[in-house]
């Protein structure tokens, strides 16, 4: 049986965002290999549904501690329709 690589690991991320068109706070959950991958999937979902969103926070599900953990928001090349804010 081949050894499992780090690329095979999938984690759950929760992205909290503001729909800038309607002004309400919402969240979406994604299974992804990394925070950046989760944000890419989120961008795609927003583009597909024509949603203008501002990311408020991204959380990582720690399955061993059974809780959500805040992650530092890392955004590379943000698209104009999706602005990111850093939570303090």
The string of pLDDT tens digits covering residues 24-51 is 999 999 999 999 999 999 999 999 999 9
Annotate the chain with three-state secondary structure.
Answer: CCCCCHHHCCEEEEEEEEECCCCEEEEEEEEECCHHHHHHHHHHHHHHCCCCEEEEEEEEEECCCCEEEEECCCCCCCCCCEEECCCC
Global pTM value: 0.73
Segment 66-71 mean pLDDT: 93
């Amino acid at each position: 049986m081949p050894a499992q690589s780090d690329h095979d690991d999938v984690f759950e991320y929760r992205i909290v965002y503001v729909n800038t068109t309607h002004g309400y706070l919402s969240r979406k959950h994604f299974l992804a290999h990394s925070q950046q991958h989760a944000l890419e999937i989120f961008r795609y979902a927003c583009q597909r549904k024509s949603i203008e969103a501002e990311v408020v926070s991204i959380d990582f599900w720690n399955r061993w501690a059974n809780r959500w953990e805040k992650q530092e928001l890392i955004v590379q090349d943000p698209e104009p329709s999706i602005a990111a804010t850093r939570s303090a």
